[in-house]
Chains A and B, each alone.
Chain A
């Protein structure tokens, strides 16, 4: 725990013996598990802490998240507000979020598309104007998603890693918005790339069609669904209808309402 952190979050008269405890949270979404391992009870002074955490495999699956937090252990008495957190259990600092992969799913070993955050205004090959993102198909075999970090507040928000609070909720709403636009493009591109045999050339196209095609046509036969998607996309008569199907399926898949409701309930407190 760096000295500067203590100076930033405790008033001067508390800095020699910070009334704080340090612990690591352990979270596993798949097993609805939240716990903590206390590393240091009050007082917690700056320095290095060796941490060893044992988590039973019986309690977790998928991925575990570990993150250190520093919280106050007592309310601060005395004069009115001075800009420092003053209540017991108030969070005053947190550290890097670590992921422990307990079970690796084969299909997750490699992301289907790459992503990178960059300032669009400083890269000639990226679009002008205030774009939020750009899906780059210059290399058709491996599309790349660029996120515009021109706006520092948006860039910072998209880097937050938490799962609760206003920032995390706002981030999830933005990510839903981006992913909707990205999936529409990937689906239309993949569907248009299907050849007469029903095959596609690239791995990402295969992944997109495997994921969505059957649901678009409510059939269990992926080959039939893929052919229908290709035919529908190439015919001006059926194009509007297939776009409507895609829109409906993506709303089911992304479920943008859910994150929006979280934002309203938790982030905006309305």
Chain B
């Protein structure tokens, strides 16, 4: 395993990302990028070789815009990027990964529908779990994995309704609740997922989210799932 030093794209560097780059008609040269790429504070490293080969495999084996790409990559990206939340909270890291390291992957997974939507896939990040193409995979794996067990992560990515409905809600930031939600909803229909996440969110106007243990969250969600079927 080779550890590679991680970098970040500076705020000014975001200006390099224009429409033609996002559409794949133009590339950014090392010379253009140099000025805007800097080492991450604290010099964290990661096993990018592992991610490189997983990405290469996906590009060769999966058709464009196939949502199954998410499930094929999430665990590999999370294992390869063994970083702290503090490091992962720097948007510049995700911008560097999307714009400099893996732009082909972003274009392969996400169809160019509008400049605004594609810009989010390259330059989103922060607390929005559903923005940057790579940040999204890492964070969902971070919130749903249990040490070496990625079964909940796999179940989530096997169902895009779950990805959309669960991770767009604020409760998804609280690990015990999001794990309970994903476990309880595995195998449920889109309608039940939609209804359950909406009703659970509504219940949180009275129930304090962080007061719930994973078992209590499961109990509450199980009841809502039964009522939603």
A32 in contact with B173 (CB, 8 Å): yes
Proximity string of chain A (157-201) to chain B, C-beta cutoff 8 Å, 1 when within and 0 when not: 000000111100000000000000000000000000000000000
Bound complex: CA A163 to CA B15 (Å): 31
Q: Is B227 an interface residue (CB 8 A)?
A: no
A31 in contact with B210 (CB, 8 Å): no
Q: Is B72 an interface residue (CB 8 A)?
A: no
A71 in contact with B85 (CB, 8 Å): no
B206 in contact with A91 (CB, 8 Å): yes
B129 in contact with A32 (CB, 8 Å): yes
Q: Is B139 an interface residue (CB 8 A)?
A: yes
Bound complex: CA A58 to CA B90 (Å): 12
Closest A residue to B127 using CB positions: A29
Which chain B residues lie closer than 8 Å to A163 at the CB level? Answer: 170
Give, as a whole number of angstroms, the nearest-CB distance from A256 to chain B. Answer: 15
Give, as a whole number of angstroms, the nearest-CB distance from B147 to chain A. Answer: 16
Partner of B211, one of A29, A57, A71: A71
Give, as a whole number of angstroms, the nearest-CB distance from A98 to chain B. Answer: 15
Given known pairs A29-B127, A164-B170, A266-B201, the reply for A35 and B210 (CB within 8 Å) is yes
Which chain A residues lie closer than 8 Å to B170 at the CB level? Answer: 163-164, 266
Q: Is A59 an interface residue (CB 8 A)?
A: yes
Which chain B residues lie closer than 8 Å to A21 at the CB level? Answer: 211
A69 in contact with B90 (CB, 8 Å): no
B207 in contact with A166 (CB, 8 Å): no
A61 in contact with B201 (CB, 8 Å): no
Q: Which of A28, A59, A164 has the most CB of B within 10 A?
A: A164
Given known pairs A89-B216, A163-B170, the reply for A31 and B207 (CB within 8 Å) is no
Which chain A residues lie closer than 8 Å to B173 at the CB level? Answer: 32-34
Q: Is B113 an interface residue (CB 8 A)?
A: no
- Chain A residues numbered 231-267 whose CB sits less than 8 Å from any CB in chain B: 265-266
A89 in contact with B210 (CB, 8 Å): no
Partner of B212, one of A89, A220, A266: A89
Bound complex: CA A25 to CA B89 (Å): 19
B202 in contact with A269 (CB, 8 Å): yes
Proximity string of chain A (4-36) to chain B, C-beta cutoff 8 Å, 1 when within and 0 when not: 000000000000000001010100111111111
B210 in contact with A60 (CB, 8 Å): no
Which chain B residues lie closer than 8 Å to A29 at the CB level? Answer: 126-127
- Chain B residues numbered 187-226 whose CB sits less than 8 Å from any CB in chain A: 201-202, 204-212, 216, 220
Bound complex: CA A180 to CA B139 (Å): 32
B85 in contact with A36 (CB, 8 Å): no
Which chain B residues lie closer than 8 Å to A214 at the CB level? Answer: 15
Bound complex: CA A269 to CA B207 (Å): 15
Give, as a whole number of angstroms, the nearest-CB distance from B129 to chain A. Answer: 7
Closest B residue to A267 using CB positions: B205
Proximity string of chain B (172-188) to chain A, C-beta cutoff 8 Å, 1 when within and 0 when not: 01110000000000000
Q: Is A87 an interface residue (CB 8 A)?
A: yes
Closest B residue to A94 using CB positions: B208
4 cross-chain pairs, A with B, having the tightest CB-CB distances, nearest first: A58-B84, A31-B85, A36-B210, A31-B89
24 contacts between A and B (CB under 8 A): A23-B211, A28-B85, A29-B127, A30-B126, A31-B86, A32-B85, A32-B129, A33-B173, A34-B173, A34-B210, A58-B85, A59-B84, A61-B86, A71-B207, A87-B206, A89-B207, A90-B207, A91-B208, A163-B170, A164-B209, A165-B205, A166-B205, A220-B15, A266-B170
For the A-B complex with A62-B89, A165-B205, A220-B12 known, give 12 more contacts whose Cβ atoms are closer than 8 Å: A21-B211, A32-B173, A36-B211, A58-B86, A60-B85, A60-B89, A71-B208, A88-B216, A89-B211, A90-B207, A91-B206, A269-B202
Binding site for A on B (CB under 8 A): 12, 15, 84-86, 88-90, 126-127, 129, 139, 143, 170, 173-175, 201-202, 204-212, 216, 220
